[in-house]
Every structure is written in C-alpha cells, then in structure tokens.
Amino acid sequence: MRLKSIKLAGFKSFVDPTTVPFPNNLTAIVGPNGCGKSNVIDAVRWVMGESSARYLRGESMADVIFNGSTTRKPVGQASIELIFDNQDGTLAGEYGRYAEIAVRRQVSREGKSDYYLNGSKCRRKDITDIFLGTGLGPRSYAIIEQGMISRLIEARPEELRNYIEEAAGISRYKERRKETETRLANTRDNLSRLNDIREELARQLAHLQKQADAAEKYRRFKAEERETKAQLFVWRWQAMQGEQQSLEAGIQQRAEALADALQQQQGVEDDLSRARQREEQGHQAVLAAQNELHGARNAVASAEQQIRYQSQRREQMQIQIQSLQQRCLQSGDERSHDEAELDAVLAELEVLQPAMEEMQASHEEAMFRLENGESALQRLQSTLETAQREVAAAGSRVQVGQGRILSLEQGLMRAQEKRARLSQELGQFATDDLLLDVAAQQEELAALDQGLQETQLQLEQLGEDMTRETRRQQDIARSLHVAKTEQQQVQGRLSALSALQQAALGRDNRELNEWLASRGLTEAPRLGEVIRVSAGRESVVERVLGDALSALVVDDLAGINLDGAPHVMLIEKGAGGSGAVDAESLAVFLAESAGVDWLGGVRMADSLAAALTARHQLADGESLVTPEGYWLGRHWLRVFAAKTEDSIITRQQAIEGLQQRLAELEVEISGLQQQQQENAASLQTGEEQRGMLQKQLSRELQERGAQQSRLAGLQARLTQTQLQAQRVREELAELDEQCQLDAESLAESRLTHQEDLEAWQEAQVREAANQEERERLRDQVQQLRQHLQEARAASHRLALELQGHQTREKALRQNLQRTDQHLTQLRSQTRDLEAEFSHLEEPLAELALQLEDLLQNRVAAEEKVQSAETALQEAGRAYREMEQARHRLFSSIEPLRQELETFRLNWQNVASRQEYLMEQIRELGVEPEEIISTLPGDIEENAWQARLEQLALRITRLGAINLAAIEEYQQQAERKGFLDAQSADLEEAVEKLENAIKHIDRETRTLFMDTYNQVNAGLQHLFPKVFGGGEATLNLVGDDTLNSGVTIMARPPGKKNSTIHLLSGGEKALTALSLVFAIFQLNPAPFCLLDEVDAPLDDANVGRFCRLVEEMAQKVQFIYITHNKIAMAMAQQLMGVTMHEPGVSRLVAVDVEQAAALAAA
C-alpha cells in the first residue's frame, strides 16, 4: 500500500482546492520558510484522527481552517482527503478488496468534524481501525518531525525509556496497572470499612439475642395460654352435643313421616307421568300419520312432474338434431373455400423464393465494399490523430513557454515591487515606543498582584471562620442525633409498656369494646390508669384490688344501660371520697382513691404472725394484708404469688415517667434544631461572603491574566518587530539574488519559445493535408452506406412479403384440419341424439303406472291420520283426572313439613351457640378436632380458669417485650453472614488484584525487554551505515527493568565510547535518526513522513542520511521536507510550495526524471 495523493481545501494556508500527487517512492517538498510545507505533514496527521490541536501547531481545532489574509476572507470549513493505492491488499477486512482507499476528514468553524471512508460517512474509530497493524496513525513513528529528533537528543534516561515503551505498546499495560492499583486501594478501603461494620454488628447481635430469648419465652407462654383457652372452649362446645342430639331425634321422626307422605305423592306422580307419556305417544302417532300422508302427497306430485319433464325433453332433442344437421352443411361449404385459397397461395410462393435469393447476394456485395471503405477511413483517422497530437504537444510547449515567459516577467516585476515595499517597511520599524509601553504594563501588573494578595488573605480568614462554624454545626448534629436516638428508644419503650398495659387492663377484649362503644364509654379510663399509690405500697394495693384494676371509672352508674353487658366492673368516679379515712387502713396509702371505697376495711399488718394474732379483733368486712403478700380475715387466708416490679400500677407510673421524658426530649430536640438552623444561616452567610470574595478573586485573576496577556502581547510585538526587521533584511538579500536568476531564466525561455513556435506551425500544415483526405474518404463511405441501406430495405420488404404468404399457407392448412375435426364431431353428436330420442317412449308408460299406485297410498294415509287423532283425545282425558288426585295429596303433606321446620329451627339455635364457641376457638388459631383428642377425662372449669390466670401472671412477670427482636435478630444475623461473605470476597479480590499487578509487571518486563533488544539490534545495524563505521548501543540505567532508564552510547569512527550528549550537533542528529529508524523498522508503515530532520546535518552527514533513506525507499514510500540541495537531488519527484500571494500556499510539481530527459534532449 502507498499514499497516492493528498487533496487539501481550506486547510491552514492551502485555501484553494489543491491536489498533491505522490507518484514515486521518494518525494521531496521544498520551498522557503513559512510557505506552508509542514502543513502537508499536519494534514496527514489530522486526517488520520489527531484530536489534539497542540500536535497540529495550534490552540484549537478551528485553527486548521484558513483564517483569512490581507486579500482573502476566512473560509467556513477545511477538508483533507488521502488517496491510498491498495492493489497489494495491505489493508485487511472488508476494505481489503478495494484497489483504492479514500479517507477524508472535514471540520467546520462550529466544531463539527466528519470522517468519510470511500465517500461513506464513518466514525473516527473506523479510520483508526482500518490502519491497525499497518504502523500508520496520527502519532505513529511513520511521521518523524524535527522536534522528535531534538527531544531524543535532549532526553533524560527515563524520558528515553518512554520512547521504547511507546514503541513496545506498554502504555496500555501501565494504564491497566494504574487502574488495578486504584481498584486495589479502593478494595482495601472497602474491606476496612466492612470489618468496622461487622464488629459493630456483632455487638448489636449480642444485645438482640437477649431480647430475642425473652420474646421467645413470651411467645411460648402466649401459645400455652391460647392452648388452655382452646381446651376450655372445646369442652364447653362438647357439652352442647346432648341437647343437639335430642333435637336431631325429633327431626328424624318427623322427617320419616314426611317421607312416607312424600312416597305416596311419588306414586301419584309416577301414574301422572305414565298418563303424560301416553298422551305424548298419541301426539307422536298423529304426527307420524301426518308425516306419512305428507310423503304420499309429495310422491304423487313428483311422479306428475317427471312425466311433464320427459315430454319436454323429447321436444328439445328434436330441435337440437335439426340444428346439428344445418351446421354440418355450413362447415362443408367453408372447407371448399379454404382449399381454393390454399392453391392460389402456393402458386405465389413459387415466384417469390428465387427473387429473395437474388436480393441476398446483392446485399452481401454491398457489405463487402462498405467494410473496405471504413478500414481505409480508420487508417487515415489514426494518422490524423497522430498529427493532431503532435500539433497539441507543440502548441502546449508554446503555451507553456509563453506562460513561463509571462510568469518570469511578472515575477521580476513583483520582486522589484516587493523590494521597494520591503525597503519602505524596514524604515518604519521602531522599538522605543514599544519599550515604554512594556514598562508601563509591568507597573500595572505589580499593582494588580498586590490587590490579589489582599483578597487571598481575606478569603483565607473567612475560610478559617467557616471551618469553626462547620465544626460547631457538626457538634450540634451529633447532639441532635443523640437526642433523637434517645427519643426513639423512649418511644419504643413507651409503645411496648403501653401495649402490655392495654392487654393487662383488658382493652383487647373485643366483646367488651363493642359494648362500651354502643354505650359511648370507649374513652372511659381504667382504675389502674387513674389510681395513685404511695411509693413502696404498689404491690400490696395491686394484690388486694386484683382484677378490679381493669374496672371502668364512670361519672354516674345510674345513667348506664346494662342490657347485654358482658363481664365488666364499673366504679363511679368520686365514690367514697368524703369522710375520714382510718389511719390503719390500706386507703391511707392512696394518693388518689379514684372511687375505691372498699380499701377502708383492709388494714396493714407488719408481718404474718402479727396478722394472725390481730385477726380475731377484726370486725365484719375487715381484713389484714402484709407486705409479704398474705391477705387474711377472721376465718380465711389468701396467699399471693410473688409479684414482679412491672405491676399494673408500677407500669403506669413508668409510662407516665416515659411520657414526661418524651416531652422533655421534644423540647430539647426543638432547641437543637433551632440552633442548627441559626448556625446553618450563619454558614450560608459565610458561604455567600466567600462566594463574593471568590468572584472578586476571579475577577482580579482575570484582570491580572488580561494584564499579563497585554504585557506578553507587547513583548511579543517587540520581539516580532525585531525579528521582522531582521527577516526583511534577509528577504531583501534573497530578492536581489532571485531577480538575477529570473532574468537569466527569462532570456533562455524566450529562445526556447521561438524554436517551439516554428515546430508547431509545421505540424499544423501536416494536420490540414490529412483532414482533406479524411473528408474525401468520408464522402465515399457515406455513399456506400446509403447503397447498403437501400439494398437492406428492398430485401426486408421482399422477406416480409414471403413471410406473409408462408404464414397464410400455414393458417389455411390449420383451418382445413379444424373444419374436418368439427364435421366429425357434429356427425357424432347427431347420431347420439337420435339414439337417445328413440329411447324416451318407454319411460313415459312406466311413469303413468307408478302414478296410479301412489294415488291409492295417499287415500290409505288419510284414514290412518283420523284414527290417531281419536286415540290422542282419550289419553288427554285420563291425564287430567290424575292431576286432580296429585293436588289433593299435596294439601295433606304441608302440615308435616311445617312441624319438621320448627324442630330444625330449634336445632339451628343450638348450632348457633356452638358456632359462637367455634369462632372463639378459631380466633385462637386451632381446630376442635385437634383439641378433642388432647382433652383429659376429668375437666373442671374452675381449675382451667385458675390455670389461665397463672399463665397471665407469668406473662406479666416477663416485663417489657420487644417482639420484633426475634425477626430483627434473624435479619441482623443474615446481614452478618452476608457481610462475612462480602469480606471473604473482598479478601479474595485483593489477592486477585495483587496477582494481576504481578502478571502485568511480568508482561511489561517481557515486552519492554523484547522491544529494547530489537531496537538495540536495529540501532547497531543502522549506526555503522549512517556513520560509515563505529558502533552504538542502548544501555539500561538501574537493575529494575520496570523503571530503569535508557541511555545511548555511541562511538563514531575514530572516537571513544561516549553518551549522545558528548557528541557534536550533527552526530547527535544522526544518532537520533538511527534510533528513530530502528524504532520505525519494528513495525514499518507503508510510507514515512520526514519534516526537516536533516536540518542540523552538514553535507557529508546529509549524504549518509540520503543513502540510508534510498535503501529503505526500496520497500517504503518516503515524503520529506528539506532545504538541503543534496536531499533534493535524491528525490524522484519535487513538490514546490510557494506563497506568492501572502498567506496562501500554492503547489508547483516537477518530475525530476522527466525534467532530466527534457534537459538531455
């Protein structure tokens, strides 16, 4: 593959559409400095996908678009197209079959960049993909610029290593290693955070396990309570079975009596059914007789219709026979006419065929004469074209000569004008004013620096204040978090205690709640909620009051409707509140009696012994209670089980304490939130001030940047002015030399132009003679063509006439054949119809006999219908009599049915009560069948009730229960397991990432050393060629091949070993070029671009450089920019880039071989 040409339009200085052809393997681009030579290299780099403006010697991608000049306006877009010759199939993939590949890129000032591949729009990735493996790319070693040589010369060991790594493609491994190290660090951070979470979660699990154990006991006790209730309810349910069985016996007796009556009714129904069936059979018999009569009538009508059809058929056949006989006569006449016409056509054909043969012979003779004339005309035309080409070539040389003379004359005139303009321009350069402006701008810049420093100090002070406010905000947030956490804990504790208190006070009794709702007492408090007891006496008072603590406190007992009331205790508010309280009674310990007046008869005793002694002095209705839990009267003693501290009264006090704490926390949280808002407002104000200062700082920085830009601009103008003055002086010297050369070229061109003019006139004379002879031959050939055309027309007419007679002959023969077939067919049809007509007489007689039999059958069917209708009337009378008997029996059954329904209603009442018990059982989540098998034989309802009270006491002793602890413990345990698995995965990931880094390091070492050895071998091979001897090697600096630097040791002929930095400038450049070409040979591209790489070389070294390039050009196409004449002489094609028009580059191409041939001629 090779680069065939480049098409430029609007790209940098190439504003006009320009095509740069590369027909040879060595093409030199030459021209003065600043004329746009390097823009050709930039064009190749840009169209191959370069996205950085820095590599295109610009600040933005829009800089590649022609930006205008003194005489031209800027253009809107730039376009570059590379044409590749791919006849050798270097490119693979779907474009490998194309002999020519066109890659184009265009960009507009709006920033839109488009790529095209063989005229089809594509992506940048498609362009880079198509060159994969070819060594081509925007930053490949196929594009070698002078800057690369300079960078290699001045490179430190670690920088030189980067070139080897870039050639080896190690950058992607470095990127992968960097990403892997980042992922490894992130994974280790995640593992550390995960371990902290796991430790905290382990502590939470230990606390949750205790709560879960208590919740599990609570669930077990509640399950036992539900089981005991279920057994009690099932026992009651079974007790109702006797009554239900008695009712079922009465139902059975009445059901049997009703069944006997219904059986009799069934007999009557059966007789009625048989009567209905006989009546139905009568209907069917009548219907069958009617159907038979209808069939007989249809048969008679059918026979009569067939007789009429046979008569009509005989008449139609007579008409058809007559028609066929007439058609036979007509076909015979047509056949005679066709035979006569066929004889006439055959006679005409015998005359036309000989005439046709004579006409064909005449046509062939005319064709032969025309071909001879056209051959002679063609030979003369070839001679004339040769003469015309000679005239055109001579004319072209004349025009070129005229153009060259005109160009040289204009060039001389422009050079003289430019010399005058440059002389005038040189006198206008002055730097004193610019020096004064630079000094003033420097003073303004110093003042801006001072203001900028003050603003930065203010911003730093405000930043410190904001840091303090932020810390204070964080402290408030922590305090608020602590308060909210305690609030949630208090709320949870309060909810749990409230739920236990509601259950202990019976607020979960659905039946009682429904009754209270119907009486408007839903909000009535329980005694346990309103009673107040002195400290230390709660358990004693609660033991005495017992279930009365769940009693409802109401305003007035008399105003309550007690109809349908369930088991409930009511206490009137304020009852017993008046009168003196016995100092020894239990009522003295009530801070608020809430209407409990019977505690006045209960006295406190210090111990059981004291109570036993004093019980004999008790009056009626009085009793003693001890702190140990003994309650006794004169003749009775009751022992209370041990009470936990979470009794109803104690729990109520705890609930009120939690409510108070919750209110305090709400006040505290509100205050903290207020502080947080105030502090946030302060932070917001600080942020606004910092934003203002930052804007001010940004403005000052912008002003400083603008001032620096102005100062840099003035300094650049000063430098540019000095450089322009020097450039103008150099240009004046070059113009003087160029004017002398152009004058010599002008004189030589005028002499050559006169010789070309004389040769052109002689060629025109020869061309005129050939044209006259060509016109004569053209007239002769035209006459032959006309004669041939007339012969063809006559032959065509005769052929058409002959073909028409042959077609007519064929048609007549076909008509005769069809007529014979038609006559045969008509005669056959006539014979068939005559035979069928003779056989129609016999069926008419048979049909008349069948008609008489069918008429007799119809009379018999009418008699059968009359008999069936008489039998049907008799069956209907019997059915009506049976219907009356059934109605009488139905009237006697109805009283029996009503009596049975009464017994069933009674049974349903008992069943409803059982169903109510069943609902209570099912509310407990069990089925009766499951409980019956576990019921003991000697059940006592009171013992079962006492057992339920004991279970309730155990549940109360458990205290506050977090029922969600079990599920929460399971969830946290699952989370702990998940986190443990994640920790194991992260540890495994750390190990994998560490192994991956080791693997990348191994691959990097291997790839680097392979590339290093190949480049080193290439350098050792190329260096002696370039220097004509000596040696050069690459050396590693350091033991670690991953990070060791690279140095170049070079020994030109006659010198000792030394680093590249100790060589002369030319030797440095040649050594660097050897290294670049060694790197290039690792993956040689189809072509190589060199941008003034021979600039630092003297003529001897340029010669060595040229020999190396010529050797490599046997396989690689080279396009190079040079100012050196030796390098120019090496080129097979010279491309001159000029800038006669300021800011606009133009191309002048010279084929060196063709120029040498013209010079030799």
The tokens of 754 are what? Answer: 């006169």
DSSP 771-837: HHHHHHHHHHHHHHHHHHHHHHHHHHHHHHHHHHHHHHHHHHHHHHHHHHHHHHHHHHHHHHHHHHH
Of 279, 232, 396, 253, residue with least CA distance to 763: 396
With beta carbons less than 8 A apart as the criterion, state whether 28 and 1134 touch: yes
For 552, residues 6+ apart whose C-beta sits below 8 A from its C-beta are 516, 521, 524, 525, 526, 527, 568, 569, 570, 571
Say which amino acid occupies 849. L
Eight-class DSSP state of 100: E
Cα–Cα dist 634/802, whole Å: 160
Cα–Cα dist 1028/188, whole Å: 59
Binding-site residues, please? 32-39
With beta carbons less than 8 A apart as the criterion, state whether 1055 and 1067 touch: no
DSSP 1138-1151: E-SSTT--EEEEEE
In three-state secondary structure terms, 593 is coil
Say which amino acid occupies 294. H
Strands across the sheet containing 120-122: 18-21, 2-9, 77-85, 100-108, 113-117, 120-122
Count of beta carbons in the 10 Å neighbourhood of residue 570: 15
Say which amino acid occupies 825. Q
With beta carbons less than 8 A apart as the criterion, state whether 105 and 78 touch: no
The tokens of 740 are what? Answer: 């002398």
For 779, residues 6+ apart whose C-beta sits below 8 A from its C-beta are none
With beta carbons less than 8 A apart as the criterion, state whether 998 and 538 touch: no
Cα–Cα dist 448/711, whole Å: 13
With beta carbons less than 8 A apart as the criterion, state whether 538 and 586 touch: no
With beta carbons less than 8 A apart as the criterion, state whether 722 and 431 touch: yes
Cα–Cα dist 925/1064, whole Å: 104
Binding-site residues for ATP, please? 32-39
Of 64, 191, 433, residue with least CA distance to 984: 191
Cα–Cα dist 792/370, whole Å: 13
With beta carbons less than 8 A apart as the criterion, state whether 49 and 130 touch: no
Cα–Cα dist 538/8, whole Å: 105
Say which amino acid occupies 512. L
- Helix, strand, coil percentages in the chain from 3-state DSSP, rounded to 5: 70, 10, 20
For 958, residues 6+ apart whose C-beta sits below 8 A from its C-beta are 214, 217, 218, 221
Cα–Cα dist 264/914, whole Å: 37
**Kind plus residue range of the DSSP H or E element containing 621:** none
The tokens of 198 are what? Answer: 């796991």
Alpha-carbon separation of residue 815 from 338, 339, 801, 824 (angstroms): 7, 10, 21, 14
Of 1034, 1003, 1029, residue with least CA distance to 1017: 1034
